[in-house]
Amino acid sequence: MKKQGIYNVTGFQARMINSVSDLFYLWKAIKEYRSISSAIKVMTELYALRKVIAGYRIYRIVKANGRYYWTMHLPGFPSSALTNHVSGEMNRISPVHSKNNRLSVLFLGITKKCPLQCLHCYEWDALNRKDTLSLPDLKKIVSTFQETGVSHIQLGGGEPMTRFEEMVELIKDIKPGADIWISTCGFNLSEEKALILKKAGLTGVAISLDHFEAGLHNAFRGHPKAFDWAMTATENCRKAGLITCWSICVTREFISRENLFQYALAAKRNKVTYIQLFEPMQAGRYSGKDVRLTETQVKILEDFYLELNTSPKYRDFPLAVYLGVYQRRIGCLGSGNRYVYVDTDGNIQSCPFCRTDKKMEVNEHPAGELLQWISNERCSQRIFS
């Protein structure tokens, strides 16, 4: 019987998918460079970079809605979005003939409104103030960055579900060629709304869950219903056929091997596809606070990431996504390198945690000028540069 839904592909099938995608992009490289030797050289470097970024041989893939995913931040295979992304990565190694994307990911804050009072909120200074971006403003921002070829668009806030109807219209307006995700606490995410989002074109949902124990998550998020919202949203999104991710800010108080694997087990039980690991940053409500992980704690997190993604005994568990691992290996991904954040006032930023007091409104400038400006600002956190 053919397996349905969203699930992990391992073993022989995963090796076959890897081989097919490798051949497809080798053929793409040959077309780009019009030389077999040049194509092989570039693809060899690209595969080496992929191994450095991931930190392990990729043998486990997620199948969802007819496509295969190596990580939540890359579009699925096969798709024009992933082809555009690979062309952009090839161009970093050696210039290609076709138009390519410099930027891979756009994270856009669509609202300041949120029912929570999270301890780590990076939008704390703007939280629950009046929204300044209209739906046409948001559409124009997305269009500007789609011109650069972005292959992954993530909508956040605040809490994007507080602006549900306009968010649906925004998602419908996004041109083909990019996977679309939202970041949410799960607020008001009913099964009906999950189905509406899926029909509009949403790929997946990153749901914030900062502890597997309800009381501790609720305390961290500042609301007695936060845990229930997250769990209900997880089930509703899964039923709607959306890829699901649990995002966790891994604090000093939480981090231990036991807690991390308990969290992974809870994610497995709830049929979550990905676990996204964030380190606490001195930004927003955490500004000026001693929250950064120690070297020992970072090592625990990296070991968990590698073990969960490589050990055969965890083959049926969600895949872990940990940007800190990638950025410590290849440098900051933000500041217009592969990623930018547009805040809830429409200003371009390096990322949600690295803000500048200078203002550069996206809708007042062309994409090239914006990316050049933000690349000169660099990362204010200074831990991945």
Question: Total domain count for the chain?
Answer: 2
Instruction: Indicate if 176 and 244 belong to the same structural domain.
Output: yes
Q: Has residue 101 got a pLDDT over 70?
A: no
Task: For residue 336, give the 3-state DSSP assignment.
Answer: coil
Q: How many helices (H) and strands (E) does the chain have?
A: 12, 12
How far apart, in whole angstroms, are the C-alpha atoms of residue 371 and residue 177?
20
Cβ(209)–Cβ(218) under 8 Å? Answer: no
Q: Does 383 map to a domain?
A: no
Contact, 226 vs 185, CB < 8 A?
yes
The residue type of 143 is S
The domain in which residue 283 lies consists of 105-377
Q: Are residues 59 and 134 in the same domain?
A: no
Closest CA to 185 of 238, 232, 133: 232
pLDDT at 166: 97
Residue 295 lies inside a defined structural domain of this protein:
yes
Which pLDDT tens digit goes with each residue over 44-72?
Answer: 998 888 777 666 667 789 999 999 999 89
The reported pLDDT for the residue numbered 100 is: 67
Query: Where is pLDDT greater, at 330 or 200?
Result: 200
Q: Which range among 61-65, 133-137, 323-327 has the greatest average pLDDT?
A: 133-137
Distances (CA, A) of 36 to 18, 19, 29, 49, 58: 20, 18, 8, 20, 25
More confidently predicted of 248 and 337 = 248
Last residue of a domain, which of 70, 93, 116?
Answer: 93
Helices (DSSP H) in 55-132: which residue ranges?
A: 80-93
Same domain flag for 182 and 316: yes
Assigned domain for 239 exists:
yes
**Whether residues 68 and 190 fall in one domain:** no
Q: Is the pLDDT of residue 381 over 60?
A: no
Cis status, amide bond into 158, omega within 30 of 0:
yes
**Same-domain check for residues 39 and 114:** no
Above 80 in pLDDT, residue 263?
yes
Range in 117-131, 186-200, 319-333, 355-369 the model is least confident about: 319-333
Residues 266 and 166 in one domain: yes
Q: Is the dihedral of CA 338, 344, 347, 351 positive or negative?
A: negative
Q: What is the mean pLDDT of residues 134-161?
A: 94
Reply yes or no on whether the pLDDT at 1 is more than 50.
Answer: no
- Choose the final residue of a domain: 93, 121, 138: 93
| Residue 304: band (very low, low, confident or very high) from pLDDT cuts 50, 70, 90 | very high
* 202 shares its domain with 59: no
- Comparing 54-63, 242-251, 312-321, the range with the smallest average pLDDT is 54-63
Q: Provide the pLDDT for residue 230.
A: 98
Q: Is the pLDDT of residue 382 over 60?
A: no
What is the structure's pLDDT at 385? 46
Q: Six-digit token pair at 33? A: 């460079």
Same domain, 110 and 80: no
Last residue of a domain, one of 93, 128, 157: 93
Same domain, 184 and 320: yes
| Chain length of the chain | 385
For β-strands 243-249 and 105-109, DSSP reports them as unpaired
| Burial (0-12, 13-18, 19+ Cβ within 10 Å), 161 | buried
Statement to judge: residues 227 and 291 lie in one domain: yes
Q: Is position 215 within any domain?
A: yes
Condensed to tens digits (0 to 9), the pLDDT of residues 338-368 reads 888 999 999 998 888 888 788 889 999 998 8
pLDDT at 56: 65
What is the model's pLDDT at position 52?
72
Find the mean pLDDT for residues 182-196: 97
In the predicted model, what is the mean pLDDT of residues 88-106?
Answer: 83
Q: Clarify whether residues 59 and 143 are in a common domain.
A: no
Beta strands in the chain (DSSP E): 7-9, 61-64, 67-69, 105-109, 152-156, 179-184, 204-208, 243-249, 274-278, 319-322, 339-342, 348-349
Q: Angle at which helices 80-93 and 11-33 pack, to 10 degrees? A: 60
Query: What confidence tier does 4 reach under pLDDT thresholds 50, 70, 90?
Result: low
337/284 same-domain check: yes
CATH number at residue 268: 3.20.20.70
pLDDT tier at 2 (50, 70, 90 boundaries)? very low
Q: What percent of the chain has pLDDT over 90?
A: 68
Helix (H, G, I), strand (E, B) or coil at 383: coil
The confidence band for 99, taking pLDDT boundaries of 50, 70 and 90, is: confident
Q: How confident is the model at residue 185, as a pLDDT?
A: 97
What's the pLDDT at 97?
Answer: 81
For residue 20, the model assigns a pLDDT of: 94
Asked whether residue 310 is assigned to any structural domain, the reply reads: yes
